[in-house]
Amino acid sequence: MYLIDTNIFLEGLLEQEKAESVRYFFQAVDVEKTFMTDLALHSIGIILFRLKKYELFTSFVEDMIINGMEILSSTPEDLMKLDRTVQQYNLDFDDAYQYMLAEKHQLQLISFDKDFDSTKIGRKEPSEIVQ
């Protein structure tokens, strides 16, 4: 099972360089085996609304969340541990949040962000999952 980082979704939604590998990943992997954090969802909303891509956000929610992707949230106790994760792996807040929930739920982190490479669980890119 997989925790999908914000940059994976945005790569596909905004038709960036690796959008095709993102599409292929989501076609190959059962959406019910994928998770995202509440922070990722809200970040995607902020970015898409800033770009005035309101319908794209609505379509994203319908395609991903309504069709089976689970949203993970932190507890207050989780948040109290974030500072240790930031310091241990030299991550910023959003990366530490993603990492903490992936580790807590024993999920493979799917990301283009190389900052996760130095962590205990690391990361995979979509193309590494569906070869």
Integer Cα distance of 43 and 80 in angstroms: 21
The pLDDT of residue 45: 97
The pLDDT of residue 66: 84
User: What's the distance, CA 61 to chain centroid?
Assistant: 14
The pLDDT of residue 91: 96
Integer Cα distance of 34 and 66 in angstroms: 13
Beta strands in 1-131 (DSSP E): 2-4, 34-37, 70-72, 108-110
The pLDDT of residue 129: 93
Domain 2-129 coded CATH 3.40.50.1010: yes
Contact 10, 44 (CB under 8 A): yes
Q: pLDDT tens for the chain, 131 residues: list them.
A: 999 999 999 999 999 999 999 999 999 999 889 999 999 999 999 999 999 999 999 999 998 888 789 999 999 999 999 999 999 999 999 999 999 999 999 999 999 999 999 999 999 999 999 87
Integer Cα distance of 68 and 80 in angstroms: 29
Listed by start position, the domains of the chain span: 2-129
